[in-house]
Amino acid sequence: MKAINIFILLMFLVGFCCCDDEENIHVEEEGPRRDYDINSTDPVKKIVSEFFFNTGKEFIVDPDSSDYLYNFAEKNGVKMYPVSDANRDYLLSTVQLIKSGFLDCYTTEFVKENFPYSVIIADTIYDTGTYLTPKIVDNIARINYYGVNVAGKANLDLAEQKAFLALVHYDFFNTYLSVFKDMSFGETFESVYEKKSRVNDKHLTEEEGYAEGFVTVSTGTTWLGSKYTDFPSVTTDLKNTFIFFLTKDSDEYTRVTTTYPKIKEKCDAIITDLTNLGIDYKKLFFNGIN
């Protein structure tokens, strides 16, 4: 027994001496698991490689569970299904859409400083941790990545792609930048927002909604048959106005903002909020793949 105790004591002292020598402790950072090559003849690989070498961030187009399931020691309630690699032309169109309509909208310095380690595209994204049952989501953010659901988006027409990309930006601001970077979006907008009560006995038209200062209103009918119109909360109004701002064609945008000063005030507030984040709002307008 005495010999065993002496052996344990010796092992403890050896371990203590090893741990005390901090200068000899080295922790190697794991590099990217993918093979990047900016000279690749594969256009998909070339795009993701250039993004990595320019920003130090990964643009992942073929995710597996190691890319999104764990956040350091914490397990994420997320499941992603990659875009099929069988149709390379479709995959390329999808990658080009996200590159032109999202990644290229931000400066290299902004990406380096404010983006997560990776932007991931997937054909389907399930949030399995927030809801009682798994739910398909448009976009999802965790501290180490921002995931974008791109199912069928390369086949949309231009107007639909504009709306899709506007939501990608909006969710990036509100689920990643505001949560993990403390970069709040919408403070100026909130200062000009005015809450309005329900309008009874009427369904407001789009133009009447504009006159009230809202780009979108909600109409309904009670179980007694009475019509009503509700106005959105500040959060919903910010989202609706942001999408309006990025998707309306220039002539219609000019008409609406000239005719309805409150709409212009809200759009100007969005420009101010984007500028305060260090974002050039003009680069967010999408007019097709470059």
pLDDT tens per residue, range 92-149: 999 999 999 999 999 999 999 999 999 999 999 999 877 778 899 999 999 999 999 9
CA distance 110 to 115: 7
Domain finish residue from 156, 178, 195: 156
Residue in the structure block whose two tokens are 């048959």? 225
Q: Is residue 60 part of a domain?
A: yes
Last residue of a domain, one of 112, 136, 156: 156
| 208 and 145 fall within a common domain | no
Distances (CA, A) of 256 to 35, 70, 71, 167: 49, 46, 45, 21
Whether residues 151 and 224 fall in one domain? no
Q: Are 57 and 117 in contact (CB under 8 A)?
A: yes
* CA dihedral sign, ordered 113, 130, 231, 203: positive
Residue 119 CA from chain centroid, whole number: 9
149 and 194 both lie in a single domain: no
Q: Are residues 149 and 199 in the same domain?
A: no
Give me the amino acid identity at 6. Answer: I
Per DSSP, the chain holds a count of helices (H) and strands (E) of 12, 12
Q: 290 lies in a domain?
A: no
Q: Which residues of the chain have pLDDT under 70?
A: 1-31, 71-74
Tell me the chain's radius of gyration from C-alpha atoms. Answer: 25
Claim to verify: residue 200 and residue 147 sit in the same structural domain? no
The predicted pLDDT at position 27 comes to 34
Q: Looking at residue 276, what is its pLDDT?
A: 96
Tokens representing 172? Answer: 């990036």
Whether residue 122 sits in one domain with residue 51: yes
Whether 2 is in a domain gets the answer no
Q: What is the pLDDT, as a whole number, of residue 4?
A: 47
Domain boundary among 156, 178, 199: 156
Instruction: Measure the CA–CA gap between 239 and 237, rounded to whole angstroms.
Output: 5
- Pair (75, 146) in one structural domain: yes
Residues 144 and 220 in one domain: no
Residue 25 covered by a domain: no
Residue 71 lies in a domain: yes
Antiparallel, parallel or unpaired: β 139-142 and 135-136: unpaired
- Tally Cβ neighbours within 10 Å of residue 231: 20
140 and 227 assigned to the same domain: no
- Same domain as 152, residue 47: yes
Residue 38 forms part of a structural domain: no
Return the pLDDT at 268.
98
Q: Is residue 260 part of a domain?
A: yes
3-state secondary structure of 220: strand
Q: Is 34 part of a structural domain of the chain?
A: no
Q: Whole-model pTM? A: 0.86
Domain identity same for 78 and 150: yes
Residue range(s) defining the domain that contains residue 64: 43-156
- Provide the pLDDT for residue 31: 59
- For the chain, the domain total comes to 2
My answer on whether 208 and 265 are in the same domain is yes
